[in-house]
């Protein structure tokens, strides 16, 4: 029961914050959740939606990491969480280890300031020219997540488009004027395999790595999923906003069946993408072994990081690491399987006092 009410309310502010987070999470649910179910889930640290998503009428809740613990406790695992929170610092730390899309400019008060000499983005005219040259650029707000406020500016067929909708120069100028604390970055394209499944978003992997405290802090992958966008989630592949999530077999790199957030109140599984008809189940992620080795090495590169949720766009000729998450969301991962059923993963969370150690 919320770790016995956070050890008899030794940290009452955490209890309050946790309950507010759970309430807000449930408030965004698009299907009805009975009050009795909500309350029974809340005292165990889950939003009410998890009763359906995790199948807790038939599965053991103790095998799943609760949302309360994710929000309140996992952020304390890394000793330098700003290395992942701060997108510019993340790029500086990892660009020598991993292929990270460059941040070309910072927009403050509607004015772009160049962050690299070439291409130099210091005006609207320069921004338009670089967009023509590169084909696509990404505008994303500093400090936001889940694709909130993200725009993709593209140049296709002799015209500009924002998130797929044709725009003129005046509309782009208006967007620029309203932008504050936005970053302009290189676009990470899909590989051919991902574009076949859904071509209208960048379809990314979320790969959760941990450093084993009992095995010389060697990194391992706890779980990996591949996200695919939908008409509902565009311009991103976000799971809660309607994108699809398929677990990746950690040995072979092949995809399993996909599911999406149950907006209708029923969890469904798909071997093919429901909108494009393209196969998902059985599709091979290219360069899987190379990707795994690169992310494990990057996880071990800095002593102050033990826990990273990597977002990666994979292509047949390589991959791009878009960002690292300090306390990765759990729903899109545990909809596939309970993380705490894996003894190595459970031991990691116990060691870092995210969950209570079991009596032996």
Query: Between residues 27 and 126, which one has the greater pLDDT?
Result: 126
Query: Between residues 171 and 9, which one has the greater pLDDT?
Result: 171
Picking from 53-67, 167-181, 202-216, which range would have the lowest pLDDT averaged per residue?
167-181
pTM (global) more than 0.95:
no
Picking from 166-170, 272-276, 350-354, which range would have the lowest pLDDT averaged per residue?
166-170
> Any idea which residue has 């899309």 for tokens?
101
Query: Between residues 43 and 252, which one has the greater pLDDT?
Result: 252
Query: Between residues 359 and 295, which one has the greater pLDDT?
Result: 295
- DSSP code at position 262: -
Percent share of the chain, pLDDT over 70? 91
Q: What is the CA radius of gyration of the chain?
A: 21
Tell how many helices (H) and how many strands (E) occur in the chain: 13, 14
Pairing outcome for strands 136-141 and 111-114: unpaired
CA 359 to chain centre: 34
> Any idea which residue has 């909130």 for tokens?
148
Per-residue pLDDT tens for 93-128?
999 999 999 999 999 888 899 999 999 999 999 999
The stretch 240-260 carries a mean pLDDT of 96
Given this model, what pLDDT does residue 6 score?
54
Q: Where are the alpha helices (DSSP H) in 43-123?
A: 50-53, 67-72, 82-85, 87-94
Q: What are 311's strand-pairing partners?
A: 206, 323
Residue 249 belongs to what H/E stretch?
none
Residue 151 pLDDT greater than 60, yes or no: yes
pLDDT tier, 235 (very low <50, low <70, confident <90, very high otherwise):
confident
Picking from 96-100, 136-140, 225-229, 292-296, which range would have the lowest pLDDT averaged per residue?
136-140
Given this model, what pLDDT does residue 295 score?
98
Residue 12 pLDDT greater than 90, yes or no: no
Q: What are 319's strand-pairing partners?
A: 314
Alpha carbon of 15 to those of 24, 37, 162: distances in Å? Answer: 14, 19, 42
Q: Using omega within 30 degrees of 0 as the cis cutoff, is the peptide bond preceding 229 cis?
A: no
Given this model, what pLDDT does residue 239 score?
93
Percent share of the chain, pLDDT over 90? 67
DSSP E strand boundaries for the chain: 103-108, 111-114, 136-141, 151-156, 159-162, 165-167, 182-186, 205-212, 218-228, 244-248, 255-260, 269-270, 307-315, 318-325
Handedness of CA 187, 191, 196, 202 (dihedral sign): negative
Residue 47 pLDDT greater than 60, yes or no: yes
Picking from 133-147, 149-163, 237-251, 340-354, which range would have the lowest pLDDT averaged per residue?
133-147
Average pLDDT, the chain: 90
Domains (range + CATH), the chain: 2-72 (no CATH), 82-99+192-350 (3.30.470.20), 103-186 (no CATH)
Pairing outcome for strands 307-315 and 318-325: antiparallel
Given this model, what pLDDT does residue 9 score?
45
Given this model, what pLDDT does residue 358 score?
73
CA 274 to chain centre: 22
Given this model, what pLDDT does residue 8 score?
41
Query: What gap in Å lies between CA 177 and CA 221, rounded to an integer?
Result: 42
Per-residue pLDDT tens for 264-316?
889 999 999 999 999 999 999 999 999 999 999 999 999 999 999 999 999 99
Residue 231 near residue 275, CB atoms below 8 Å? yes
Residue 11 pLDDT greater than 70, yes or no: no
Given this model, what pLDDT does residue 184 score?
93
């Amino acid at each position: 029961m919320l770790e016995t009410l956070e050890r008899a309310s030794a940290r009452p502010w955490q209890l309050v914050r946790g309950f507010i987070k759970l309430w807000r999470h449930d408030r965004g649910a698009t299907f009805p959740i009975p009050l009795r179910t909500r309350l029974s889930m809340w005292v165990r640290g889950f939003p009410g939606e998890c009763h359906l998503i995790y199948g807790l009428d038939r599965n053991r809740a103790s095998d799943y990491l609760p949302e309360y613990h994710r929000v309140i406790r996992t952020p304390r695992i890394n000793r330098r969480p700003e290395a992942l929170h701060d997108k510019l610092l993340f790029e500086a730390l990892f660009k020598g280890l991993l292929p990270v899309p460059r941040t070309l400019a910072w927009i403050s008060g509607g004015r772009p300031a160049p962050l690299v000499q070439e291409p130099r983005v210091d005006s609207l005219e320069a921004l338009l020219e670089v967009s023509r040259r590169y084909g696509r650029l990404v505008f994303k707000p500093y400090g936001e997540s889940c694709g909130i406020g993200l725009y993709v500016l593209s140049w296709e067929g002799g015209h500009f488009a924002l998130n797929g909708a044709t725009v003129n120069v005046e509309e782009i100028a208006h967007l620029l004027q309203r932008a504050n604390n936005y970053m302009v970055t290189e676009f990470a394209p899909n590989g051919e395999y991902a574009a076949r499944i859904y071509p209208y978003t960048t379809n990314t992997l979320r790969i959760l790595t941990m450093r084993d405290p009992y095995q010389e802090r060697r990194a391992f992958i706890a779980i990996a999923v591949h996200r695919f966008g939908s008409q509902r989630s565009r311009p991103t592949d976000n799971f809660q906003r309607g994108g699809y999530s398929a677990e990746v077999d950690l040995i072979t790199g092949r995809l399993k069946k996909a599911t999406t957030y149950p907006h209708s109140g029923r969890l469904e599984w798909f071997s093919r993408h429901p909108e494009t008809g393209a196969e998902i189940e059985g599709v091979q992620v290219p360069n899987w072994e190379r990707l795994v080795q690169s992310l494990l090495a990057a996880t071990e590169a800095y002593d102050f990081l033990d826990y990273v949720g990597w977002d990666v766009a994979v292509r047949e000729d390589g991959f791009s690491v878009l960002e690292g998450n300090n306390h990765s969301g759990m729903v899109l991962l545990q909809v596939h399987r309970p993380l705490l059923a894996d003894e190595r993963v459970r031991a990691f969370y116990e060691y870092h006092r995210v969950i209570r150690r079991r009596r032996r």
